Structure 1
Amino acid sequence: MSNYKLGLDYANEQDQKDPLAQYRNQFHIPKDKDGNDWLYFTGNSLGLQPKNTQKYIQQELDDWANFGVEGHFEAKNPWMPYHEFLTESMAKIVGAKPIEVVIMNTLTTNLHLLMVSFYQPTKTKYKIVIESDAFPSDRYAVQTQLEFHGFDANEGLIEWKPRPGEDLLRIEDLETILEEQGDEIALLLIGGVNYYTGQYLDLKKIAELGHAKNCMVGIDLAHGAGNITPELHHSGVDFAAWCTYKYLNSGPGSLGGLFVHEKHAYNKDLKRFAGWWSHNKSTRFNMRQPLDVMPGAEGWQLSNPPILSMAAIKASLDLFNSVGMEALRLKSEKLTGYFEFLIHELNNDQIQIITPSNPKERGCQLSIQVKNADKRLHQKLTEAHIITDWREPDVIRCAPVPFYNSFKDVYKMVEKLKFILNE
């Protein structure tokens, strides 16, 4: 922390030295009625729109207008193989091989489809482990999977919890759960970056612990994709899923991504819910063929994809390609480090940061816990066009996104926070 300094001059100096500063101009920044940029810190809920997105979508609208159905083959970016144009870029971002990744559906739909294949309970080995403060969607998904298979969701769901008086998860507590109940556990489904605290968990260690007890291991990367470098292939997790509308800047409700480890790529005996797009693409249009499942993640597809959503994803992924995750992650660690330094310098007992202080153990999010769950602090920030989000019971989540947030943004946000706290 000693590397950081107080004052606006320091923030401006960091922005001048920032090799990624130019990318801010590639995004639409919301403005107030006087034309001033909002301070936008909610890329962890909805990423800002790249300025190129409109052009990418317009291309597909034009091709639809000009070619009709022939656009599947004649469009500038033919629609038939369109998802393939995204695969390599997406695989780089999550640290996977192209065969392991596909863009399709939405996050929880993908988790359910993956659990069809990777949650194969028996009468004695059927329990599922999640983190105690998992995103509600994950909890509902695993509860209903347990019930679908005829189990009591209350009995079958095991929560990996922080210790009393603590906010963060400890890997040794997961180890204890698996030592004591591993023979009854079929699946671990863990959020790679916790939505509430911003804690970035050790995926490789989680996979090793789960596999040692013959459990399948899945990861929800909703708050990780485009934010951290999860190295999914190297981690050894069996599967993962994520959305693209947060750090991947692809628009509200945009399609999700799915990872299936290469070790499962050619296993056609894995149970799955299939559709037309799961079938071998070279014989797909023969129509009367028995199902011939494609190898790799593509074999989990069901239907031909929504091209307009994919065009928005392509616009964002092309930006990621031009800068690379390594540079984004490096800036992210500096931004959250600077943010953390300024918050600590306020020395105000009304707030505290519950996100891990080690930059390697967090995403580009700081979770500020507010004493007595006083939501007025968040409301006053919003009124000042400082866009953060409130998560019950008592946390303001702030995500300085390296693509479009600056050191000056962070400085101005904390100055306003200081003013409100001292009012």
Structure 2
Amino acid sequence: MSLVAKRLRLVRPSETKAMTARAAELRDQGVDVITLSQGEPDFDTPSAVCEAGIRAIRDGRTKYTPVAGIKPLREAIRRSLHRDHGLNYGIDQITVGCGAKQVVFNALFASLDAGDEVVIPTPCWVSYPDMVALAGGKPVLVACDEFHGFKLRPEALEAAITPRTKWLMLNSPCNPTGAVYSRGELLALTAVLRSHAHVHVLSDDIYEKLTYDVDCATLATVAPDFLERTLTVNGVSKADAMTGWRVGYGAGPSSLIKAMNLIQGQTSSHTSSISQYAAVEALSGSRNHIEEFTSAFLVRRDLVLAKLNQAEGLSCRVPDGAFYVFPSCAGVIGKRTPDGKVIETDTDFAMYLLEAFAVAVVPGSGFMASPYIRISYASSLEDLTRACDRIIAGCAALS
């Protein structure tokens, strides 16, 4: 009898983590690998936030906290959601987890019964389908084509809904495409959902502060009558450069939040007390750094777009948010590498770039979309320039 549970057969290793790990192996061997596979800002955590964490240590705030998070942080989250989006939540409608990823998992685990369905527009973040499967649900993947901006169309949503549908998962701005839903597009989706009162919305807004020349709306703001049908998920990892601090949060119906806290109370208990006090500062203090981050990301985005669209076989649409580009590599499929290997898939192409040109990207198959690759531009201009020049050279070397 195997020690490993059968349900783990449903879970795929994260391709982003796999590519980053392989890049680290090559780097340990002395290869000058440029890693563009990790979804992590290269900026330091703002100094005021760091000082708040240090102060928490010095003040002895190193004990267990409530499962849902310390009250000052939940109050800061409540104020932030009201200030930024006009959303009104009570403190018992807010929970804090070890990053937004845990919040999403807790919500799915707390709400899904065996066979319940979750509609997931694709391309999507690598973990969504696997988290649904681990929670006993059925991911229903709905392909969203590049022609429509990689965004879910109302008619496609209508066709995907069944009596077993429990959730629609929306991620705007989207990882991996950078697509941002407009108010009108969200209203069109809610028009469909009003005919299906059993369907709830998990709105993953983790990149909502990182947009370029567009407004990013959240669903519960656009459609106030959906407040009790929506779990709004966010955190400080991306906009505040706090990935390692592990602080995410969710706001939604109190019954769901209570169930999520029950799950968390039997798993991690809570995230780091020190991180929570730092997050209070991140959400309540000056957020001028977000404008600085976004301005830098915009310059990087435009550099990467200009470079990649010179690469033979690649084409890349302009993303409106996050810090990723998602170029099509359809033009290199079927070509041969200098050593004679045929590029048959986007995974083949990503491995070719890594092994032959020392650039780590993630194949689109990891995000349920092929043939594409995801490139993170959360790196220095110097590294992005060198990496893109290598990608251009790698494409030119194919025949």
Q: How much does 1:48 deviate?
A: 3.9
Gaps of 5+ in 1: 1-31, 33-37, 73-78, 148-152, 279-301
Paired residues of 2:202 and 2:232 also in contact (CA < 8 A): yes
Task: Assess, with a 3 A threshold, how the Cα gap between structure 1 residues 390 and 132 changes in structure 2: closer, same or farther.
Answer: closer
TM-score, normalization: structure 1?
Answer: 0.58
- Report the CA distance between 1:416 and its aligned residue: 4.5
Distance 2:264 2:117 in 1: 31
Structure 1 residues 310 and 43: alpha-carbon distance in aligned structure 2, compared to 1, 3 A threshold:
farther
Counterpart-to-counterpart distance in 2, 1:54 and 1:332: 22
1:210 maps to 193
Tell me if 1:342 matches 2:301.
no
**Which of these two proteins has the greater Rg computed from alpha carbons?**
1
**AA of the residue aligned to 2:73:** H
State the SS of the aligned residue for 1:240.
strand
> Which residue number in structure 2 is paired with residue 95 of structure 1?
85
Which residue does 1:62 correspond to in 2? Answer: 58
Q: Is the 8 A contact 1:218 1:239 kept in 2?
A: yes
Q: What aligned pairs does 1:331-410 form with structure 2 within 5 A after superposition?
A: 332-333=297-298, 335-344=300-309, 346-349=310-313, 351-353=314-316, 357-360=317-320, 362-370=321-329, 371=332, 372=343, 373-374=348-349, 375-379=351-355, 383=358, 389=362, 392=365, 395-401=372-378, 410=384
Match of 1:231 in 2: 217
Displacement of 1:127: 3.3
CA drift of 1:217 comes to 1.3
Supply the RMSD in Å over aligned alpha carbons: 4.7
8 Å CA contact retained: 1:102, 1:259: yes
Query: Paired residue for 1:44?
Result: 39
Structure 2 Cα separation of the partners of residues 98 and 119 of structure 1: 26
Is the partner of 1:58 in helix, strand or coil?
helix
Q: Which residue of 2 aligns with 1:14?
A: none
Measured in 2, the distance between the counterparts of 1:39 and 1:86 equals 38
CA 1:92–1:335: 2 relative to 1, 3 Å: farther
Q: Where do 1:303-342 residues align within 5 Å?
A: 306-314=272-280, 317=283, 321-324=287-290, 332-333=297-298, 335-342=300-307
Q: What is the DSSP-based 3-state SS (H/G/I as helix, E as strand, rest coil) of the residue aligned with 2:202?
A: strand
Counterpart-to-counterpart distance in 1, 2:41 and 2:328 = 21
**Residues 259-278 of structure 1 aligned to structure 2 (within 5 Å):** 259-260=251-252, 264=253, 272-274=259-261
Pair 1:161 & 2:126 matched: no
- Once the 2 structures are TM-superposed, how far is the Cα of residue 253 of structure 1 from its aligned partner? 6.5
Q: Does 1:240 find its partner at 2:232?
A: yes
Q: Give the deviation of 1:115 after TM superposition.
A: 4.2
Once the 2 structures are TM-superposed, how far is the Cα of residue 342 of structure 1 from its aligned partner?
3.1
Deviation digits for residues 30-72 of structure 1, max 9, x if unmatched?
xx9xxxxx977566246543262553332222222xx887x99
In 2: Cα distance, 1:276 partner to 1:171 partner: 31
Give the drift of 1:422. 4.6
**For 1:417 and 1:90, how far apart are their aligned partners in 2?**
41
1:141-220 matches, cutoff 5 A: 141-146=131-136, 153=138, 157-162=139-144, 169-172=150-153, 174-179=154-159, 181-201=161-181, 202-214=185-197, 215-220=199-204
- Quick check: 2:72–2:280 contact (8 Å CA) kept in 1? no
Cα distance per residue 1:69-118 (max 9 Å; x no partner) = 7x99xxxxxx9544247426753797353637553344343224434776
Quick one: structure 1 residues 56 and 274, their matched pair in 2 at CA, closer, same or farther if it must change by over 3 Å? closer
The one-letter code of the counterpart of 1:220 is D
Count matched residues.
Answer: 326
Residue 160 of structure 1: how far off its partner (Å): 0.9
Once the two structures are superposed, what CA deviation does each residue of 1:151-210 show, in whole Å capped at 9, x if it has no partner? xx4xxx4221246x97964533x5244157455533212333443333334444433432
**CA distance, structure 1, for counterparts of residue 256 and residue 323 of structure 2:** 39
Cα drift, residue 144 of structure 1: 4.0
Q: Which amino acid aligns with 1:343?
A: L
1:203–1:116: structure 2 CA closer, same or farther, 3 Å change rule?
A: farther
Q: CA deviation at 1:254?
A: 0.8
Change (3 A) 1:259 1:200: same
Which of residues 109, 112, 117 in structure 1 aligns to 2:102?
109
Over residues 121-175 of structure 1, what are the superposed CA-to-partner deviations in whole Å (9 max), with x where a residue is unaligned? 9x9xx5321224433432133234445xxxxx4xxx4221246x97964533x52
AA paired with 2:195? A
The 2-side partners of 1:387 and 1:94 are apart by 36
**Counterpart code for 2:221:** H
Shift of residue 340, structure 1, vs aligned partner? 1.6
Q: 8 Å contact 1:192–1:221 — kept in the other structure?
A: yes
Distance 1:58 1:118 in 2: 37
Distance 1:141 1:68 in 2: 31
CA contact (8 A) 2:105 2:131 kept: yes
Task: Give the Å deviation of 1:314.
Answer: 4.9
Q: How big is the shift at 1:120?
A: 8.3
What's the % identity of the aligned pairs? Answer: 7
Distance 1:377 1:387 in 2: 7
Match of residue 418, structure 1, among 389, 392, 396: 392
**Residue 21 (structure 1) aligns with:** none
SS at match of 2:243: coil
Q: In structure 2, do the counterparts of structure 1 residues 208 and 141 end up closer, same or farther at CA, with 3 Å as the change threshold?
A: farther
Q: Is the 8 A contact 2:45 2:240 kept in 1?
A: no
